[in-house]
Copies of this chain bind each other. A is one copy, B any other.
Amino acid sequence: MTDKLTLDEIAQRAGVSRTTASRVLNNRPNVRPEVRERVQQVIEETGYSPNPVARSLAIQHTHILGLVLPRRSDTVFTDPYFPVLIQGIAQACNDHEYTLGLFLLQTPEEERKLLPRIAHKGLLDGLIIQVGEIGDQLIARLLEKNVPLVVAGRPAQEIPVSYIDVDNVAGAYQAVSHLIRLGHTRIGTITGALNTTAALDRRTGYEQALREHGLPLEDALVAPGNFNESSGYQAMQQLLPHRPTAIFVASDVMVFGALRALSEAGLRVPEDMALVGYDDLPPAANAAPPLTTVHQPVLRFGEQAVEILLDILENGSVPPRRVILDTELIIRDSCGASQA
């Protein structure tokens, strides 16, 4: 209601020029204390707050960051990972007084339609973009438009872009090593969608652990999943005939699917089959049995992503920043360690 207020009016009411009013509004020096006081008075009385769009136009940035989540929407809102990521990013945006714009690119047409809006340096100061499938050209295209951006997850191509990731290889390596330490020798894995670097890296960690401990790699013990529940279920069924005694599953959601297959087969966890997952989001601790899983610091991941982006905004995008966060193996019941 009192919204037609402009800085001009404030200035008039306080009996100063618009310039001076602007100065006190932005806490700039060179205003006599008494004058400053008077203007502040008026601002408070009227409940004035400056028009962000006008300000943005003048200063040439908006204080808005964009988060873009490409394709694969099935996973995007079925896996608790993304909500938590969003939360971390939103939190950090709040802390730094930025506004967060959300862009879900579900279909190719949407991507095409949204691209100009995302790529234009007018609306968004910068972008956090979740890495997509291998072969996705979105990042490359954005890069050549010169938009400040940081990628969440390791991009497939070797391009000079800033990104943040968790150490997926090491996380998987830890998990599998732990199973080996518990005495397992026939260890399978259910992979994530192999058109993502995260899934690839986790499989690499699995292989590396087996190899370094002198265990053979057996193709039949590697079942492809795609990060959702049903794929975990199917992969588990596929694995069962080959009699593994332990499985490293590339995401907790797939563990739930695996658990379902196991219970249908009348097998118990961890007695008949040890399981280690990946993610450690809220559902993991309350599962039956509670999941041993590789913890990723998703909230911090999100926070850091925006901090990197802000750094780029301030200091330019060269050289590209690279941040790899550590994971931690959380030992609960599903691996059998607690009863071993």
Q: What are the interface flags for A262-280 relative to B under an 8 Å C-beta threshold, 1 for contact and 0 otherwise?
A: 0100000000000000000
Q: Quick one: copies of this chain in the complex?
A: 2
The answer to the question of A211 belonging to the interface, with a C-beta cut-off of 8 Å to chain B, is: no
The answer to the question of A30 belonging to the interface, with a C-beta cut-off of 8 Å to chain B, is: no
The answer to the question of A26 belonging to the interface, with a C-beta cut-off of 8 Å to chain B, is: no
Partner among B1, B116, B146, B288 whose Cβ is within 8 Å of the Cβ of A146: B1
CB–CB A230/B286 < 8 A: yes
Q: Taking A100-B101, A100-B102 as contacts, is the C-beta distance between A94 and B113 under 8 angstroms? A: yes
CB–CB A286/B229 < 8 A: yes
CB–CB B51/A120 < 8 A: yes
A266-325 CB contacts (< 8 Å) to partner B: 282-283, 286, 288
A82-116 CB contacts (< 8 Å) to partner B: 82-84, 86-87, 90-91, 94, 97, 99-104, 106, 110, 113-114, 116
Which residues on the B side are within 8 Å of A182 (C-beta)? Answer: none
Q: Which 10 A-B pairs have the closest CB atoms?
A: A51-B122, A90-B104, A77-B83, A52-B123, A83-B83, A52-B122, A100-B102, A77-B87, A53-B56, A102-B102
A-B contact pairs, 29 of them (CB 8 A): A1-B146, A3-B121, A3-B145, A51-B120, A51-B122, A52-B120, A52-B122, A53-B53, A53-B56, A53-B57, A53-B62, A53-B123, A57-B57, A77-B80, A77-B84, A78-B80, A83-B83, A86-B102, A94-B113, A99-B103, A99-B117, A100-B103, A101-B101, A101-B102, A229-B282, A230-B286, A256-B283, A257-B286, A260-B286
